[in-house]
Amino acid sequence: MKFQKKRASTNQNIPMASLPDIVFMLLLFFMVTTTLREVDVLVDFRLPEAAAIEKIENKRLISYIWVGKDNRIQINDSIVRVEDVQSIMYAKRQELPNIIVSLRIDRGTDMGLVTDIQQELRKAYCLRINYSSTIKI
Amino acid sequence: MLKKKKIAEASIPMSSMADIAFLLLLFFLVATVIDVDTGIGLTLPEFIEDPETVEIAKDRMAAVLINENGDVLLDGAPISVFQIKNQLKPRIISKIDLPATRKLIVSVKTDRRTVYNTYIQALDQIKMAYFEVRDETSNAEFGRKYKDLNPEQQEFIREKVPIIISLAEPEAIKN
């Protein structure tokens, strides 16, 4: 008597042809959801720590102002003077009416400079601000 | 005898397509920074050339003064930065049931040479006091924390406990 191995008659391969499509879908998802960092930060800063902080929901509305340890102010890709903040921010507000200005200021900065920047922002009608700070544990 | 030449089949190997796509995927995973923006939000007042001064009842105001050494005065009494929250909370709570025109106003004033870090710590304390009062109020009203409420309930609590922080108009430079 001859024994015959019993095998399912169906094809047992997983179809590999759709793998690239699946991976491309993943890729597209990541490409769409992530925002690439578009500016180089030229100043050196350490953010202050705070506990009662909120997340900013809408990333596209944010515009940054950096202030470094050496009191230099950076907007976009360049170092600017305090007097120029108003005109630059006003132009930005024209494009984005409900702009949120995120102030990334070094923890050792004098309040005088911070107040000056705030006054410039008020003149430019950029009234929604956010003092960027890290979470205190 | 003429033989028909067999046409060689031209094809791109498709099996490596997945690998290439994975490489691209890895590049995007590594190259992107997902940094959540966190911070203390605030709305500045509009800029007016000659602001009118309005008298405000003494009991409505909580004046926080910070000098260049980081010493804090709350309504004239010297306290440490970390006491601000506990000092403010009862004052906020006492004004929950008052109309909107009589809620507490916290005024923050700094010297030009105050360190930014101290200012943020003070602001943090003030915000924390408000957040805790909001949580307590919503717990009493709805039995849930403020962030778990639905939008209408949040609006209700926001009206009861509005966060009014006034940044004092900076004085003319006195150097």
- Work out the widest C-alpha separation in chain B, in whole angstroms: 115
Of A30, A108, A126, nearest to B116 by CB-CB distance is A108
pLDDT digits (tens, 9 = 90+) for A89-111: 999 999 888 899 999 999 888 88
A35-44, B24-33, B88-97, range with greatest mean pLDDT:
B88-97
B142 Cβ contact partners less than 8 Å away, ≥ 6 residues apart: B149, B153
B146 interfaces chain A, CB cutoff of 8 Å = no
**Inter-chain contact B25–A106, Cβ cutoff 8 Å?**
no
Closest residue in A to B173 (Cα–Cα)? A112
**Inter-chain contact A102–B37, Cβ cutoff 8 Å?**
yes
Do the beta carbons of residue B59 and residue B103 sit within 8 Å?
no
Q: What is the mean pLDDT of residues B142-162?
A: 87
Q: What is the mean pLDDT of residues A19-28?
A: 83
- Confidence class for position B170, pLDDT limits 50, 70, 90: low
Of B25, B113, B170, nearest to A26 by CB-CB distance is B25
- Confidence class for position A57, pLDDT limits 50, 70, 90: confident
Residue numbers of A between 35 and 64 with CB closer than 8 Å to B? 35-37, 48-56, 59, 62
| ipTM value for the complex | 0.74
pLDDT digits (tens, 9 = 90+) for B24-49: 888 877 877 666 678 888 888 888 77
Could you tell me which residue, A37 or B157, shows the higher pLDDT? B157
Neighbouring CB atoms inside 10 A of B116's CB total 23
pTM of the model: 0.76
